[in-house]
């Protein structure tokens, strides 16, 4: 750990290379009021013109989604490229992709909290927001994929005239419970974290509507330490139960595949492999959004280059895990001596979907290798491009899993090739509109950085902190 | 606003978490019982200084967890094996391993409900109005203000000596609040 001519942090010019010391999380000499001001400015100040442009585009894309889904309801799932043998086309690919993206938010808010990673405070709020919106987008797909969407309530254990119940032995039903629980718990976690910050906005609000709106949602929070003690306990417990929850959700999503007997799906590596991939793609999405939001809203003092450095390290680790899983799948396919398994993996690398497979390998295994180098981990254009490529790669991972295994299973007479239609594409693009519409509204009306939590990790927040010790 | 005339207590502002902690300790040592400290973030040590009892949230969560887990097991067992048993893929009606995911999810779900709504209930929230908000600078409590409240219900409370006592601790903007 020698510190040879390292690039200086642009914000403060200080370098903390000694692993025994922690870098400062809040830069630019901000005090408590400065933190409040920096974060609230993005909501109270003039909305940047870029926001309106982005919001307009998002609404347009949302309109595309609404129209596509409306047409789907009118005509049926035949408007998609779904057919035998590939009956699980883009709808499932997109579902898994969006749920996976959501996972980083819970990882940052819950797992890093349990590990006392204080740097999470700079990014947890909008990572959690991203989780919620991504899970909403994810939930769209299985819902509309059932075809007769007005019967979706069959998935819930509701007494009905046929007197039968859902099949609780089916992984698809586990998925209903897992993803809806995940959504609800993420929402509660996010809202609990927001309460003190909504109180901040309430206390700063000038307009009557803002006062009323923030006032109602702040629930009358007054920062009493008799309340904080319950609040912190509840928050810790939420983090504790969200940690196994987030691991369970993508495990259960992977059961949709792994519990079947389709070659290439029926493997025990799927749960950990899916969870690693989910964290990988989720961090990439957090990074993409954080780079843009930080720039537009001038949050460089709160979301520092060290935050990005840490996130890139996590992406490197999870990217390597995913790469290991790809290799191990091939090994097990060979070691199992099952001709069907062996065939399907060779078909992935050399068959009709080889182009998709190699896009996946390039984006998910090769691209994150740039993060071995410190200078590239701290280079914003590099990480921005990498984060987008990683999400492209993760989409292709799910596409490869769904399309290769289904298109060439046990009976060669049934083989086929999946081609998406215009409506596959428009629905997928449309959910991005849904996601960004929510996300932009969040940036406009809610604090994108957790105000109370950032203050809590500042050295001045320690009651035994002595101002003289500040360098 | 006639009802708001009753004296609620005395509120003083302090300039740092350390000052608030010391003031809270001194107030308790002086014998005041009905004291509260408000701050933009939790200050660790104040709970001991004010002798705030430990949180009961974990017990509520335990209750939620058992309700969710046992409820999920009962739901799956009753629907799959009692009310309308259907043989699917030759599996037993009571397929316990297959019921684990839903048991787990509902355990987590009800625990989370218990944690959040239990926390709010224990805190007496939502309560959109509180007399402390009548202090002229109390809006800073969510920004960078640290406030100590001594309620008028306290047996030692006196409008003159309590004010002097709080000033002696270094409190500023000492105000009586009503409501």
A to B CB pairs, distance under 8 Å: 212
Please check the confidence at residue A228 and state whether its pLDDT lies above 60.
yes
Nearest to B105 among A181, A219, A224 (CB): A181
CB contact, 8 Å: A188 with chain B? Answer: yes
Query: Which of B77, B93, B122 lies at the terminal end of a domain, its last residue?
Result: B122
Nearest to A157 among B17, B75, B113 (CB): B75
What is the arithmetic mean of pLDDT over A173-201?
Answer: 91
Please check the confidence at residue A107 and state whether its pLDDT lies above 70.
yes
The interface predicted TM-score (ipTM) is 0.89
The chain A residue lying nearest B114, using CA atoms, is: A234
Percent of chain A with pLDDT over 70: 92
- Is residue A14 included in any domain, yes or no? no
Looking at residue A3, its pLDDT comes to: 40
Segment B2-61, tens digit of pLDDT:
455 688 888 888 888 888 888 888 888 888 888 888 888 888 888 887 878 888 889 999
Looking at residue B30, its pLDDT comes to: 81
Q: How far, in Å, CA of A397 to CA of A276, rounded?
A: 12
**Residues of chain A found within 8 Å of residue B88, distances taken between Cβ atoms:** 167, 169
Q: How many structural domains is chain B composed of? A: 2
Nearest to B21 among A164, A199, A463 (CB): A463
Query: Structural domain of residue B82, as residue ranges?
Result: 57-122
Looking at residue A394, its pLDDT comes to: 92
What is the arithmetic mean of pLDDT over A197-226?
Answer: 86
Q: How close is the nearest chain A Cα to the Cα of B113, in Å?
A: 8
Same domain for B61 and B37, yes or no, is: no
Segment A341-398, tens digit of pLDDT:
888 888 888 988 999 999 999 999 999 999 998 888 888 899 999 999 999 999 999 9
**Residues of chain A found within 8 Å of residue B105, distances taken between Cβ atoms:** 174, 177-178, 181, 245, 248
Same domain for B48 and B61, yes or no, is: no
Looking at residue A62, its pLDDT comes to: 94
Same domain for B35 and B70, yes or no, is: no
Same domain for B66 and B118, yes or no, is: yes
Looking at residue A22, its pLDDT comes to: 58
- Is residue A157 included in any domain, yes or no? yes
**Residues of chain B found within 8 Å of residue A225, distances taken between Cβ atoms:** 36-39, 42-43, 46-47, 50, 52
User: What is the band of A433 on the pLDDT scale with cuts at 50, 70, 90?
Assistant: very high
Supply the mean pLDDT for chain B. 85
Q: Cβ contact (<8 Å) for A168 and B99?
A: yes
Q: How close is the nearest chain A Cα to the Cα of B54, in Å?
A: 8
Most confident of A5-9, A62-66, B33-37, B81-85: A62-66
The chain B residue lying nearest A453, using CA atoms, is: B41
**Residues of chain A found within 8 Å of residue B27, distances taken between Cβ atoms:** none
Instruction: Calculate the CA dihedral of residues A111, A117, A118, A122 and round it to 10 degrees.
Output: -60
User: What is the band of A174 on the pLDDT scale with cuts at 50, 70, 90?
Assistant: very high
B136: three-class secondary structure by DSSP? coil
Same domain for B47 and B133, yes or no, is: yes
Q: How close is the nearest chain B Cα to the Cα of A178, in Å?
A: 6
Q: How far, in Å, CA of A279 to CA of A99, rounded?
A: 10
Q: How many structural domains is chain A composed of? A: 1
Looking at residue A76, its pLDDT comes to: 86
The chain A residue lying nearest B75, using CA atoms, is: A157
CATH code of the domain covering residue A263: 1.20.1630.10
Q: How far, in Å, CA of A231 to CA of B125, rounded?
A: 11
Same domain for B106 and B163, yes or no, is: no
Segment A108-165, tens digit of pLDDT:
888 888 887 777 777 888 888 999 999 999 999 988 988 888 888 888 888 888 778 8
Three-class HEC string of chain A: CCCCCCCCCCCCCCCCCCCCCCCCCCCCCCCHHHHHHHHHHHHHCCCCHHHHHHHHHHHHHHHHHHHHHHHHHHHCHHHCCCCCCCCCCHHHHHHHHHHHHHHHHHHHHHHHHHCCCHHHHHCHHHHHHHHHHHHHHHHHHHHHHCCCHHHHHHHCCCCCCCCCCCCCCCHHHHHHHHHHHHHHHHHHHHHHHHHHHHHHHHHHCCCHHHHHHHHHHHCCCCCEHHHHHHHHHHHHHHHHHHHHHHHHHHHHHHHHHHCCCCCCCCCCCHHHHHHHHHHHHHHHHHHHHHHHHHHHCCCCCCCCHHHHHHHHHHHHHHHHHHHHHHHHHHHHHHHCCCHHHHHHHHHHHHCCCHHHHHHHHHHHHHHHHHHHCHHHHCCHHHHHHHHHHHHHHHHHHHHHHHHHHHHCCCCHHHCCCCCCCHHHHHHHHHHHHHHHHHHHHHHHHCCCCCHHHHHHCCHHHCCCCCHHHCC
User: What is the band of A457 on the pLDDT scale with cuts at 50, 70, 90?
Assistant: confident
Same domain for B158 and B70, yes or no, is: no
The model carries a pTM of 0.87
User: What is the band of A9 on the pLDDT scale with cuts at 50, 70, 90?
Assistant: very low
**Residues of chain A found within 8 Å of residue B74, distances taken between Cβ atoms:** none
Looking at residue A18, its pLDDT comes to: 54
Supply the mean pLDDT for chain A. 85
Q: Cβ contact (<8 Å) for A178 and B45?
A: no
Query: Structural domain of residue A179, as residue ranges?
Result: 32-462
What is the arithmetic mean of pLDDT over B75-80?
Answer: 91
Question: Which two three-digit tokens encode residue A280?
Answer: 């990988």
Nearest to B42 among A192, A216, A228 (CB): A228
Please check the confidence at residue A399 and state whether its pLDDT lies above 80.
yes
Looking at residue A252, its pLDDT comes to: 92
Q: How close is the nearest chain A Cα to the Cα of B24, in Å?
A: 11
- Is residue A81 included in any domain, yes or no? yes
Q: What is the DSSP letter of B22?
A: H
CB contact, 8 Å: A212 with chain B? Answer: no
**Residues of chain A found within 8 Å of residue B128, distances taken between Cβ atoms:** 215-216, 219-220
Same domain for B61 and B115, yes or no, is: yes
Identify the residue among B33, B41, B120, B134 best suited for mutation to test binding to A, counting A beta carbons within 10 A and taking the highest: B41
CB contact, 8 Å: A196 with chain B? Answer: yes
Segment A268-309, tens digit of pLDDT:
899 998 889 988 998 899 899 888 888 877 777 778 888 888
Q: How far, in Å, CA of A264 to CA of A341, rounded?
A: 6
Q: Cβ contact (<8 Å) for B105 and A178?
A: yes
Please check the confidence at residue A1 and state whether its pLDDT lies above 80.
no
Looking at residue A24, its pLDDT comes to: 64
- Is residue A15 included in any domain, yes or no? no
CB contact, 8 Å: A169 with chain B? Answer: yes
In this predicted structure, which of A265-279, B87-101, B126-140 has the lowest mean pLDDT? Answer: B126-140
Looking at residue A45, its pLDDT comes to: 76
Please check the confidence at residue A266 and state whether its pLDDT lies above 80.
yes
Looking at residue A224, its pLDDT comes to: 86
Same domain for B107 and B159, yes or no, is: no
């Amino acid at each position: 750990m020698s510190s040879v001519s390292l690039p200086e942090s642009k914000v403060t010019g200080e370098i903390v290379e000694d692993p025994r010391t922690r870098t400062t999380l809040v830069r630019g000499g901000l005090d408590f009021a400065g933190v409040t001001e920096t974060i609230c400015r993005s909501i109270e100040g003039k909305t940047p013109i870029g926001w309106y442009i982005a919001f307009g585009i998002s609404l347009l894309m949302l309109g595309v989604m609404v129209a596509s889904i409306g047409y789907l309801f009118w005509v049926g799932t035949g408007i998609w490229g779904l057919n035998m043998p590939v009956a699980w086309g883009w709808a499932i690919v997109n579902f898994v992709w969006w749920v996976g993206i959501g996972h980083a938010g819970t990882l940052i808010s819950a797992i890093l909290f349990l590990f006392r990673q204080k740097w999470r405070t700079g990014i947890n709020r909008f990572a959690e927001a991203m989780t919620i919106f991504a899970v909403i987008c994810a939930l769209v797909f299985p819902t509309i994929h059932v075809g007769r969407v007005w019967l979706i309530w069959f998935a819930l254990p509701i007494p009905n005239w046929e007197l039968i119940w859902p099949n609780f032995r089916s992984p698809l039903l586990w998925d209903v419970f897992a993803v809806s629980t995940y959504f609800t718990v993420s929402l509660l976690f996010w809202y609990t974290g927001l309460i003190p910050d909504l109180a901040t906005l309430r206390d700063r609000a000038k307009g009557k509507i803002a006062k009323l709106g923030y006032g109602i949602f702040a629930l009358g929070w007054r920062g009493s330490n008799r309340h904080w003690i319950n609040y912190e306990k509840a928050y810790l417990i939420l983090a504790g139960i969200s940690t196994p929850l987030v691991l369970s959700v993508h495990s259960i999503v992977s059961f949709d595949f792994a519990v079947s007997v389709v070659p290439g799906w029926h493997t025990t590596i799927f749960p950990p492999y899916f969870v690693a991939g989910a964290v990988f793609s989720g961090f990439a999405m957090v990074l993409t959004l954080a780079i843009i939001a930080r720039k537009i809203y001038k949050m460089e003092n709160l979301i520092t280059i060290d935050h990005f450095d840490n996130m890139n390290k996590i992406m490197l680790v999870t990217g390597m895990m995913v790469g290991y899983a790809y290799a191990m799948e091939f090994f097990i396919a060979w070691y199992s001596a099952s001709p069907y398994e062996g065939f399907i993996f060779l078909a992935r690398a050399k068959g009709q979907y080889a182009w998709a497979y190699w896009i996946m390998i390039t984006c998910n295994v090769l691209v994150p290798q740039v993060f071995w180098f410190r200078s590239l981990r701290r280079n914003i254009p590099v990480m921005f491009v990498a984060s987008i490529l990683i999400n492209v790669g993760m989409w292709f991972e799910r596409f490869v899993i769904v399309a290769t295994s289904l298109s060439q299973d046990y009976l060669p007479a049934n083989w086929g090739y999946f081609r998406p239609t215009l409506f596959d594409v428009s629905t997928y693009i449309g959910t991005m509109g849904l996601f960004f519409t929510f996300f932009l509204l969040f940036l406009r009306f809610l604090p994108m950085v957790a105000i109370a939590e950032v203050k809590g990790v500042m050295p001045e927040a320690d009651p035994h902190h002595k101002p003289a010790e500040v360098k | 606003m006639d009802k708001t005339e009753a004296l609620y207590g005395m509120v003083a502002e302090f300039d740092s978490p350390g000052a608030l902690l010391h003031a809270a300790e001194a107030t308790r040592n002086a014998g005041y019982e009905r004291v509260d400290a408000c701050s933009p973030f939790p200050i660790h040590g104040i709970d001991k200084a004010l002798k705030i009892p430990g949180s009961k949230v974990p017990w509520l969560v335990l209750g939620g967890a058992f309700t969710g887990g046992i409820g999920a097991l009962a739901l799956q067992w009753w629907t799959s094996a009692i009310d309308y048993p259907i043989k699917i893929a030759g599996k037993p009606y009571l397929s316990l391993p297959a019921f684990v995911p839903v048991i787990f999810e509902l355990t987590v779900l009800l625990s989370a409900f218990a944690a959040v709504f239990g926390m709010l209930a224990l805190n007496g929230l939502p309560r959109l109005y509180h007399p402390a908000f009548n202090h002229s600078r109390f809006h800073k409590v969510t920004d960078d203000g640290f406030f100590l409240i001594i309620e008028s219900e306290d047996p030692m409370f006196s409008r003159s000596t309590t004010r002097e006592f709080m000033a002696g601790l270094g409190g500023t903007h000492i105000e009586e609040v009503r409501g």
